[in-house]
């Protein structure tokens, strides 16, 4: 959509004129009461033509940090570009957000049904209309997530391995970590890849929690991307880069070897040495105390904050030199 017609930008059947900001409702369903369910889509165009950037949060309804990143970008006016167009959708899964739940009312995960079908489940229908009517307008997509359940992610950008264009964008975003992560089947990111649209997946914090430090990384990274695309308004400053993003090429999960109460001893994001003490797992009766140690030296990029765990549960995600990139569902939110 780069260098589009300067007078027409049609989205969801509405035209947004140059220099205009417009909220358009993406209507796709009704409640039991026949009340319409609508998702606000905030579209801002500059007078000067340029790229179109799509920012999304709340694909999982309980991931508040992503919603807050996009909200702050709108509230601060960062979404009003110097050139081109910025589309902001703070909450894509409005059902999950209302219910403080990851999924849709039918239990389906929106991020596992892309590109969706016109006559499928509710989640699939939302994915279908979003993919057909909004995504093709974008030249770049930034999607904001948190760790699922009670797993806390260090702020990170996830990109597929061996894609120099995405790696360059990740370097510009400069989250504390850049993690190689293959696209999962039927995910939004995989759909963008098939459509030839560069997309960055930001992960940070955990569900049902608003973390100002995580949100700050998301907002500042977006500002850097917009500045790189020459879209950032002149009144905004790009935050100085302290340390460069740490590239995590390979990683593995450390899983609980016992069931019991989990007591984490290290912060997320820490570099640990092999055999470093990470946590203890105890039973409720004071009879068992099991030490969890690092299987190798590396960065801890995810920590399970659950107070109790079962044997086999993922409790830490650690970078490593010799493991295959994790392909578990737990590796991508």
DSSP string covering 15-55, please?
Answer: E--TT-EEEEEEEEEE-TTSPEEEEEEEEEE-SEEEEEEEE
The secondary structure of residue 217, as a DSSP letter, is: H
Q: Give me the pLDDT at residue 323, please.
A: 61
Average pLDDT over residues 224-236: 97
Residue 229, SS3 per DSSP: coil
Q: Give me the pLDDT at residue 30, please.
A: 81
Tell me, letter by letter, the H, E, C secondary structure of 236-282: CCCCCCCCCCEEECCEEEEECCCCEEEEECCCCCCEECCCCEEEEEE
Q: Give me the pLDDT at residue 322, please.
A: 76
Q: Give me the pLDDT at residue 317, please.
A: 98
Q: Give me the pLDDT at residue 5, please.
A: 53
Q: Give me the pLDDT at residue 300, please.
A: 98
- Which of these, 44, 45, 40, lies nearest to 57 by C-alpha position? 40
Torsion of CA 71, 73, 75, 77, to 10 degrees: -160
Average pLDDT over residues 53-82: 98
pLDDT digit string (tens) for 257-281? 999 999 999 999 999 999 999 999 9
- CA R_g for the chain: 21
The secondary structure of residue 317, as a DSSP letter, is: E
pLDDT digit string (tens) for 293-309? 999 999 999 999 999 99
The mean pLDDT of the chain is 94
Tokens for 315?
Answer: 């409790």
pLDDT digit string (tens) for 120-178? 999 999 999 999 999 999 999 999 999 998 999 999 999 999 899 999 999 999 999 99
CA distance 176 to 163: 19
Residue 112 has pLDDT above 50, yes or no: yes
Q: Are 4 and 43 in contact (CB under 8 A)?
A: no
**What strands, in cross-sheet order, belong to the sheet with 277-282?**
289-293, 277-282, 260-264, 308-309
Helix axes 64-75, 212-228, angle to 10 degrees: 50
Distances, alpha carbon 185 to alpha carbons 269, 296, 303, in Å = 28, 30, 25
pLDDT above 90 as % of the chain: 88
Residue 332 has pLDDT above 80, yes or no: no
- Least confident segment among 16-25, 27-36, 47-56: 27-36
Q: Are 9 and 22 in contact (CB under 8 A)?
A: no
CA distance 317 to 332: 12
Question: Which of the four pLDDT bands, split at 50, 70 and 90, describes residue 2?
Answer: very low
pLDDT digit string (tens) for 33-60? 888 889 999 999 999 999 999 999 999 9
Q: Give me the pLDDT at residue 3, please.
A: 43
Average pLDDT over residues 106-122: 95
Question: Which of the four pLDDT bands, split at 50, 70 and 90, describes residue 4?
Answer: very low
pTM greater than 0.85: yes
User: What are the helix (H) ranges across 76-135?
Assistant: 94-99, 122-133
pLDDT above 70 as % of the chain: 95
Phi/psi at 318 (5° precision) = -130, 140
Residue 252 has pLDDT above 90, yes or no: yes
Instruction: Show Cβ contacts of residue 35 under 8 Å, excluding neighbours closer than 6 positions.
Output: none
Q: Give me the pLDDT at residue 239, please.
A: 85
Torsion of CA 241, 273, 205, 245, to 10 degrees: 20
Residue 19 has pLDDT above 80, yes or no: yes
Domains of the chain: residue spans and CATH:
10-228 (3.40.630.10), 252-325 (2.40.50.100)
């Amino acid at each position: 959509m780069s260098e589009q017609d300067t007078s027409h930008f049609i989205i969801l059947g509405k035209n947004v004129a140059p220099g205009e900001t417009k909220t358009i409702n993406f209507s796709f369903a009704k409640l039991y009461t026949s009340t319409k369910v609508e998702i606000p889509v905030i579209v801002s165009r500059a007078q000067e033509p340029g790229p179109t950037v799509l920012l999304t949060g709340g694909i999982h309804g309980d991931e508040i940090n992503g919603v807050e990143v996009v909200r702050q970008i709108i509230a601060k006016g960062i979404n009003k570009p110097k050139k081109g167009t910025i589309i902001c959708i703070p909450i894509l899964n409005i059902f999950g957000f209302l219910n403080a739940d990851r999924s849709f009312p039918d239990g389906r995960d929106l991020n596992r049904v892309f590109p969706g079908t016109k006559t499928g489940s509710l989640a699939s229908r939302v994915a279908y209309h979003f993919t057909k009517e909004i995504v093709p307008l974008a030249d770049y997509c930034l999607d904001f997530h948190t760790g699922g359940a009670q797993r806390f992610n260090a702020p990170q950008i996830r990109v597929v391995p061996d894609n120099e264009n995405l790696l360059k964008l990740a370097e510009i975003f400069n989250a504390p970590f850049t993690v190689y992560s293959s696209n999962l089947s039927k995910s939004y990111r995989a759909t963008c890849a098939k459509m030839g649209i560069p997309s960055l997946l930001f992960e940070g914090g955990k569900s049902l929690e608003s973390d100002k430090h995580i949100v700050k990384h998301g907002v500042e990274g977006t500002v850097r991307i917009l500045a790189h695309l020459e879209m950032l308004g002149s009144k905004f400053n790009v935050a100085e880069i302290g340390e460069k993003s740490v590239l995590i090429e390979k990683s593995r999960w450390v899983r609980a070897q016992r069931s019991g109460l989990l007591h984490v001893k290290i912060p997320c994001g820490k570099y640990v040495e092999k055999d470093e003490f990470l946590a203890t797992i105890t039973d409720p009766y004071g009879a068992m105390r099991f030490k969890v140690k690092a299987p190798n030296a590396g960065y801890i990029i995810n920590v399970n904050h659950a107070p109790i765990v079962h044997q086999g549960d993922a409790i830490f995600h650690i970078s490593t030199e010799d493991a295959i990139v994790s392909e578990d569902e737990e590796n991508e939110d």
